[in-house]
């Protein structure tokens, strides 16, 4: 599934890209990664790319640029995490593409009083907005199997959580995906994507014991698995805004979950015994 540079040359020759107006950038895939139909883990997988594949990048999901819109094999397109692309240069020239999650059955909420909308599913979380009497919004996720909190779409790029008991719900909330904050608190992922440390886990800049130390993650802490080495003996994880490599045996994760992670291109790992 390798996109050749010929595609970019053809675009240039056709006048689709000019020096005055950058509408696309050529990038190289860092490691095996899934391509999704939208800029979020909730969207379906529409393809997969391998290390060193070339892609045309023609958009981003927001100013934060956590996700990039790409064109790959046979003119298919989709979204990938920005950290899975190398050599892309300045992406601030790319247009922001607006995509709203529309998966599953539609569930809406309406306010019968003034309702606070929060950054996370909890009454201690920051208030980011309010629903007034009669306001309606689409729910796109829930906090747990009991649907205690619902994630609603405030605007194209704005979301927030409302308590179930504060709104009138139309539709079946059990059809919504369950999402929880990731280890950095900056994104949402399925609960199964979080793993825990079995010991105090040392995170390194590379998958070997002699590389510089990034952090020591305390026992029984939540981390977000991002990638793995080809052998699966090292995991690249996120923790409180930091990322690094840790020996796989230090985390509570089964072999199937390890295999499902994308393979990251990294120096040959030091076998941990």
| Cβ atoms 201, 229 nearer than 8 A | no
| Cβ atoms 152, 164 nearer than 8 A | no
All residue ranges of the chain with pLDDT < 50 are 1-22, 267-273
Check residue 31 and report its DSSP letter: B
> Residue 122: its pLDDT value, please?
83
> Residue 19: its pLDDT value, please?
35
Cα-based torsion angle of the residue sequence 160, 162, 168, 172 in order, rounded to the nearest 10 degrees: 70
> Residue 151: its pLDDT value, please?
92
| Cβ atoms 214, 205 nearer than 8 A | yes
The CA–CA distances, whole Å, from 161 to 10, 11, 115 equal 46, 43, 10
Q: Note the pLDDT tens digit of each residue in 83-94.
A: 788 877 778 888
Q: How far apart are CA 220 and CA 228, in angstroms?
A: 20
Q: How far apart are CA 212 and CA 204, in angstroms?
A: 6
Q: How far apart are CA 210 and CA 268, in angstroms?
A: 12
DSSP three-state, residue 191: helix
> Residue 265: its pLDDT value, please?
58
Per CATH, domain 5-86 is 3.40.605.10? no
- Which CATH superfamily, name and number, covers 192-260? SH3 Domains (2.30.30.40)
> Residue 240: its pLDDT value, please?
79
| Cβ atoms 58, 3 nearer than 8 A | no
- Displacement of CA 116 from its chain's centroid (Å): 26
| Cβ atoms 223, 210 nearer than 8 A | no
- Fold classified for 107-178: SH3 type barrels. (2.30.30)
Domain spans of the chain? Answer: 5-86, 107-178, 192-260
192-260 shares the fold of 5-86: yes
**CA angle in degrees (0–180, nearest 5) for 238-240-147:** 90
> Residue 210: its pLDDT value, please?
93
Q: What is the CA radius of gyration of the chain?
A: 21
The pair of three-digit structure tokens given for residue 130, joined into one six-digit string = 């309010």
> Residue 92: its pLDDT value, please?
82
């Amino acid at each position: 599934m390798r996109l050749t540079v010929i595609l970019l040359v053809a675009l240039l020759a056709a006048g689709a890209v000019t020096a005055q107006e950058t509408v696309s950038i050529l990038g190289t895939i860092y490691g095996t990664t899934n391509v999704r139909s939208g800029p979020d883990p909730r969207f379906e997988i529409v393809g997969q790319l391998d290390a060193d594949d070339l892609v045309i990048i023609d958009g981003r999901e927001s100013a934060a640029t956590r996700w990039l819109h790409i064109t790959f094999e046979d003119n298919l397109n989709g979204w990938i995490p920005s950290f899975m692309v190398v050599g892309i240069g300045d992406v601030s020239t790319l247009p922001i593409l607006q995509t709203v999650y529309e998966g599953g059955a539609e569930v809406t909420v309406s306010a019968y009083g003034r309702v606070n909308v929060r950054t996370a599913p909890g009454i201690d979380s920051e208030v980011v907005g309010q629903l007034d009497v009669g306001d309606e919004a689409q729910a796109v996720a829930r906090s747990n199997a009991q649907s205690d909190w619902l994630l609603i779409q405030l605007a194209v790029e704005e979301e927030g959580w409302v308590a179930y008991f504060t709104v009138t719900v139309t539709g079946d909330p059990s059809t919504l995906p369950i999402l929880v904050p990731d280890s950095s608190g900056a994104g949402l992922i399925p609960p199964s994507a979080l793993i825990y440390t079995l010991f105090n886990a040392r995170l390194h800049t590379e998958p070997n014991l002699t590389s510089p130390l990034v952090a020591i993650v305390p026992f029984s802490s939540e981390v977000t698995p991002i990638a793995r080495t080809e052998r699966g003996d090292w995991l690249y994880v996120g923790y409180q805004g930091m990322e690094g490599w840790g020996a796989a045996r230090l985390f509570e994760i089964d072999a199937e979950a390890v295999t499902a992670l994308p393979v990251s291109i990294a120096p040959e790992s030091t076998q941990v015994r």
